[in-house]
Chains A and B, each alone.
Chain A
Amino acid sequence: AQSVSQHNHHVILSEAASLELGCNYSYGGTVNLFWYVQYPGQHLQLLLKYFSGDPLVKGIKGFEAEFIKSKFSFNLRKPSVQWSDTAEYFCAVNARSDQGGKLIFGQGTELSVKP
């Protein structure tokens, strides 16, 4: 069965610090990969996605993620976080062999950025 693991449950950083959130998935086939963000009081929003091609993908608000197929990983990075990045971040996987758009989510990482 597919699964997604996010390494950190809660990360606390100061503004301007660099961010890396880990995500590993378990699935033997070809996958599509996503990072979603949920700001306090708001709904889930897509940060970035990887379907194919360049394994380094850039998303909104300065976020990027790198797909490393050999490590089954899709880590999220940002060189300098801001207070407004405080949110919960979810990694998700969609197996291309599945019918339709069933997303498997990680447990989420809560990011707190101190001003």
Chain B
Amino acid sequence: KAGVTQTPRYLIKTRGQQVTLSCSPISGHRSVSWYQQTPGQGLQFLFEYFSETQRNKGNFPGRFSGRQFSNSRSEMNVSTLELGDSALYLCASSFTSGAADTQYFGPGTRLTVL
């Protein structure tokens, strides 16, 4: 089975712009979670989608949003980019949305905000 794929792998944006990141889960997985990884804050949960519905949300401002499509692919959007949004954004998929289900991570999208 192919793993979780994320596109693009690298992005450079300037402050004030917006960006959309894409994630394709493992075939058959219906849950997609997003995480932000930075050297200072580590790995932080952004949100989770299951069957096109947001199931859980982390403590991030409203500039961070996401959605999931009927084929389980997910996108996350960051509007009005700030320098502090520079990070590795990771997507993880799991078969269900259950707490006991294992999440499998993609390679991430490296976002640099100038």
Contacts and interface: CB of A to CB of B under 8 A. Distances in A.
User: Size class of B's contact patch?
Assistant: 20 to 34
B42 interface: yes
Given A96-B100, A101-B31, A101-B99, A43 B56 contact: no
18 contacts: A34-B102, A36-B105, A42-B107, A43-B3, A46-B103, A46-B104, A94-B100, A95-B99, A97-B99, A98-B99, A99-B55, A99-B97, A100-B31, A101-B97, A103-B92, A105-B35, A105-B43, A108-B42
B25 interface: no
Interface of B: 3, 31, 33, 35, 42-45, 48, 50, 55-56, 58, 90, 92, 94, 97-108
Contacts of A42: 107
Interface of A: 32, 34, 36, 42-46, 49, 51, 90, 92, 94-108
A43 B101 CA distance: 19
B65 to A, nearest CB: 17
Contacts of A45: 105
A102 B58 contact: yes
